[in-house]
Every structure is written in C-alpha cells, then in structure tokens.
Chain A
C-alpha cells in the first residue's frame, strides 16, 4: 500500500506515518492490517490474539486477571500441579498459520510477565513477525533501553506498559512492588527511544475516573503523545475479592467524555468510525497456556481447545453465542450484572481454568434462562 492510499483513509498524520513505516518494513503485515476494515464490512472478524504461553510473573498485582491460572496460586491454594499439556513452539507456529489463513494479523504476548520468559525470542519467531504484528504486554520492570532495542530488533512492534496510578506510591501499592513506578517511567523513555510503538494501560476501578490523579495521567499521556488504554476492573482473577472495584456506567461515560480531549481509549472506543463495542471474539481472543481459547482476558469460559478444534470453528462458536456476538456497546464482564453473576457461578468451583467448552459456554446458551 502506498503512502497516498493510506493518506486517503481518514487517519491522523501520525498514524498514517506509522503505517507507512510498517508498510515499508513489513508489507505483508501492513497489507493484512489494511484489510481488516473490509473484512469487518463483509461480516468477517480479525481479532487480536492474546497469547498466554507462560504465567510466570515477578509481580503479584491486586487486580491480576491471570493469578488463578498461575502455578503459584494452584500450589498455594489447592496444593496441586496443573498436569494439563502446555502449548509449545510448534503449537504457536500452527496457531500462527491458522490465524494467517483467516486474515488475522495481530498477536499480543502476555502472561504473566512476558519479559521474564526465557523463550520470549523463540515465541516471537514462532508467531512470525513478518506475518503478524507483534505486541508485548509488560509491567516494565525489565524494560530498559537495551531490552527495548532488542525487542525492536527481533520484530516486536509495540509495547503495552501497565501503569495503574500516576501517584508513585499508589501504583507501587496496587502492584505490590516497591519501585515499579520508577521502572515504568524508565520503560516509557526506553521504548520511545528504541522506536517501539507504545501505549500505556491502566486499570479503572470504581470512582477513579473522577479523580485528579486519573485526569493528570490522561494529560501526561496526551502531552507525551502516548495512547492511554483504560481497562475496566473486572470481578475475575484476583479482583474476585474486590467486587467494589467494578465500575458504574457513570465511570464509563466519564472516560468516553475524556476521549474527546485526551489520547485515551478503552477496548470499546470507536476506531476511525468503526463502532465495534465490546470486542469479545470480534476484536480479541485469548489463547491460554493449555491451548484453550477464551473470548476475553477476563472471561474464564473456553470456546474450545485448539488441539481439538480449529481456530475458525472456535471463532464461529463465539460469534454465534448470544452473549458474545455480534455487537453490544458495553463491557460484558465489566458491566453486565447478569453475565457477571453467571460467570461467577460457572467458575466458582473450577480449580483449573478456563472452564471447558460445553461446561461454561455452549451452543445452547441463552440470554434469558
């Protein structure tokens, strides 16, 4: 795609420049990304694949959605080992191949903390950064300039860096890691200097949208030219013990108003006129360390296992499920009380997550049971 073609799509100049740069380095990936809107117009989907190969983490955050998947949790609470077969690099290569066939273009390596994975580079290679746009999540602890340069060199395009308060003590307390705020600030500069695309992600708990701290974080990101991704606290994982974190529509509407003046967005924010709403399946899926596919990082109900079912069929299951497809404006697991209750009931007795297809989600699901 030429620069002229990109300039005609209504993008901001900065976004067009980024896409032109990508097109010059990775034309196959850029072409796939450019086709997403026409895929959506046809009724096809191109979700971002969040890949949770490992749940190892050097943090223990108050709101972690992955805590219940972690070995440390299974050891401490249930005194068991997770004997299920874990995904390996061959599984990731196969997932990459199936995703590419479906026109899917984006992978996020997440966890756990991806940058503690010894095989991180091999995972990037298995995804294939010449076929897919590769993003990594990180808490920033290990992301200095050298590491950022290395990420760029192996094909990572973007970093999503977590910052949960603009007040250092609050961030460190939320993350249960003294010094983590300073490491995030270092990682911001390191990522920018290394030429990585960068967004900050932050968890919105009830009432935070009205605070000076949140507004100041929005102002900081806007001045710095960094997007701030706001993730609503969901009552799953470690947050199950904090139902008071769940936001109200008023909180969500404040963030929507902030989008008018700050560089801030949620997973439901329209992108260049595309109003996807809740992106479960339509815009995002998670592949867990046991090859289960869930419709969102916070919904612990599987749509199928990639060792038994093709990715295409798993996505179809999601899109024909009345909770998940084809369109809703709110966050299913963060805002819909009936679904939150259903999810809590379906997961409360499950030691090993996610709940398999047929026992959580199924083709007989109904909104009014």
Chain B
C-alpha cells in the first residue's frame, strides 16, 4: 500500500481516511468489498424512470444525466484533496422529486418498493426482503451534522442527480457523522433516498459471487434510539433491508456512504 499525501482526504482505493478523533479502523485490509460496476447512464436512467415514475424523464435524459455526473467527477478530480475518491466505487443516482415531507413515509411508500422492483427485475431468481419491523412513518429524522438535509431539500424541488460513494468503510455510525463534518461542504452523509436511488439504478451493487460485500448503513437517518439504525445487506445472492443496533461500535463489515450532488 502506498503512502497517502497528508493533504489527501481519500486513499488510493477511494476510502475516506479517518481523522484521528473519529471512530473507525485506521487501516483496512479490504476484506469486504463492493465490485466497481460498469456505469451505464442510460440503463440507470431507464430503471429510475421505470421504478420511480415518469417525472424523472421530464427533467432528464441520458445525455444530461451523464453530463451532470461527469461534472461532479471532474470537480472532485480537480481538487488534490478529493481526487482519490474517484478511484473507488461511485454509483450515479437519480432521486425523484419527493414532496412527501416525512422521510419514513417516503421510504415505505416509494423508495423501498422501488428497490424491491428494480432488484427483482435485474435478478429474477434472487429475492429482496424487507425484514424491518420498526415503523418508519413519522419516525425518521436527519442526524445533526450529516448535511443530509441538503439532499432532502433539493429533492423537494426537483429530481436530484448525484453520486453515492460507499467510502466510509469500517466506521462506526457516529464516526461517519463526525468524519462528514470534517469534509468539504459538498459531501453529505448518505441516508435513505440516495442509498435507495443508487440501488434502484444499480440493483446488484451488493451482490458478489466470489466474496462478501459490506453492510450499508443509512447513516444520516436516526430514530429515537440513536444506537440503532437501518441498513441494506446482502444475504448470499439476495438483498435485505433491516434494522439493528450498532451501539456506536465499529466493525469491518459496517460501512456508510457519502453523496455528492450535482
């Protein structure tokens, strides 16, 4: 492994380098991994339109979608501190215009069904299962300091284009929040809409035949019990959504994501 430049915020694999004060494994042996997918902008757009609705098509076509994503990547690449994030996995997504004010209700009514439909369409022999028994409707808030409100506010106005980077690998959930606060303003901690949108556009993101992918927390969302959270997780060749306690601990298997909007 090569040494990172002290100014680098991300290592040569795109992992966000944890600050000393942050709850995260200092180094990663990269045992849990997400394979870097080929990006097919037209396919992501088509899936997003099919499963989120035609309103996206009114605002975007494949060329504009691609241009906006490439503009995000260009901006990140030009900055020496952030350029390495583009070496890792980055998933372009489209969050549809969402006027529902309640995040939990929107996840239950729109986003999780869209993930299920996209997954079944892409992998008809596998299953998506929502194991969560905790109510979402009226129960979810945005974690202070996550900057996630910028995505929610933008989605209230129009469809949002962004890139989901699962780069906060092996961080505790509070560690991911603390790290986000230290990053430049364009980085927001991923929550429900962006993670779901990434999985609608790239349904097989967490499916690996040759090794194990990480669990992805919706780190920017919280309930009354701040030591637990919601997450996506593969089970073999299947995808699950669930809730569990994290109790502020870190694990090699637990990752959070950052989103950059454009």
What is the CA–CA distance of A322 and B209 in the complex, to the nearest angstrom?
Answer: 25
Give the most central of A40, A277, A336: most B CB within 10 Å.
A277
List the B residue with the shortest CB-CB distance to A40. Answer: B245
Partner of B235 from the list A275, A325, A327 (CB cut-off 8 Å) is: A275
- Complex-state Cα separation, A57 to B241, whole angstroms: 44
Contacts of A43 in B (CB 8 A): 227, 245, 247
Indicate if B228 sits at the interface (CB-CB under 8 A): yes
Q: Is B106 an interface residue (CB 8 A)?
A: no
The 8 Å CB contact of A253, one of B27, B127, B237, B244, is B237
Main SS class of interface, A: loop
**A326 contact set on B, CB distance < 8 A:** 246-247, 249, 251
Asked if A249 and B242 sit within 8 Å, CB to CB, the answer is no
Check B236 against A275 for contact (C-beta < 8 Å). no
Determine the distance from Cα of A21 to Cα of B114 in the docked complex, in whole angstroms: 42
Residue B252, interface by CB 8 Å: yes
Chain A proximity of B28: nearest CB distance (Å): 7
| Binding-face segment, B135-143, B191-199, B210-218 | B210-218
B238 at the interface (CB under 8 A from A): yes
Q: With A and B bound together, what is the CA distance between A14 and B18 in angstroms? A: 49
Instruction: Across the interface, name the chain B residue whose C-beta is closest to A256.
Output: B236
Whether the pair A273, B210 counts as a contact (CB closer than 8 A) is no
**How would you classify the secondary structure of chain B's contact residues: helix, strand, loop or mixed?**
loop
> Mask for B246-259, Cβ within 8 A of A = 1, else 0?
11010111100000
Interface check B131, CB cutoff 8 A: yes
Residues of B within 8 A of A330 (CB): 212
Q: Does B78 contact A (CB under 8 A)?
A: no
**Complex partner residue of A327 from B131, B215, B234, CB under 8 angstroms:** B215
Q: Please pick, from B25, B238, B242, B246, the residue contacting A367 in the complex, using a CB distance under 8 A.
A: B25
Q: Which of A250-274 contact B (CB under 8 A)?
A: 250, 252-253, 256-257, 260, 270, 273
- B215 CB contacts on chain A under 8 angstroms: 327, 329
How many chain A residues sit at the interface, stated as a range, is: 20 to 34
Across the interface, which residues of A come within 8 angstroms of B245, CB to CB?
Answer: 40-43
A367 to B30, CA, bound (A): 10
Chain B contacts of A77 at CB under 8 A? none
Chain B 150-180, CB-CB to A under 8 Å as 1, else 0, gives 0000000000000000000000000000000
Q: Contacting B29 at CB < 8 Å: which of A250, A327, A329, A338? A: A338
How long is the Cα–Cα vector from A41 to B229 in the complex, in angstroms?
Answer: 11
Q: Is the CB of B253 within 8 A of A249?
A: no
Chain B, Cβ-Cβ closest to A320: B249
Check if A368 is an interface residue, CB within 8 A of chain B. Answer: yes
For A328, the chain B residues whose CB sits under 8 A away are 251-253
Question: Is there contact, CB below 8 Å, between A329 and B251?
Answer: no
Q: What is the minimal beta-carbon distance from B48 to any residue of chain A, in angstroms?
A: 28
Are the CB atoms of A368 and B29 closer together than 8 Å? yes
- Kindly state the separation between the CA atoms of A270 and B240 in the bound complex, as whole angstroms: 11
Shortest Cβ distance from B240 into A: residue: A275
Given the interface pairs A275-B244, A327-B253, A328-B252, the reply to whether A257 lies near B29 with Cβ below 8 Å is no
Are B238 and A256 interface neighbours, CB within 8 A?
yes
Which residues on the A side are within 8 Å of B133 (C-beta)? 10, 273
A322 cross-chain contacts in B, Cβ below 8 A: 25, 252
**Cβ of B31 < 8 Å from any Cβ of A?**
yes
Query: Beyond A336-B31, A367-B29: 15 further Cβ-contacts under 8 Å?
Result: A41-B245, A249-B208, A249-B209, A250-B209, A252-B236, A260-B127, A273-B131, A275-B131, A326-B246, A326-B249, A328-B251, A329-B215, A329-B234, A367-B252, A368-B29
A-B contact pairs, 27 of them (CB 8 A): A41-B245, A42-B245, A43-B227, A43-B247, A249-B209, A249-B210, A249-B211, A253-B209, A253-B237, A256-B236, A273-B242, A275-B244, A277-B253, A325-B249, A326-B247, A326-B249, A326-B251, A327-B251, A327-B254, A328-B251, A329-B233, A329-B235, A329-B253, A330-B212, A338-B29, A367-B31, A368-B25
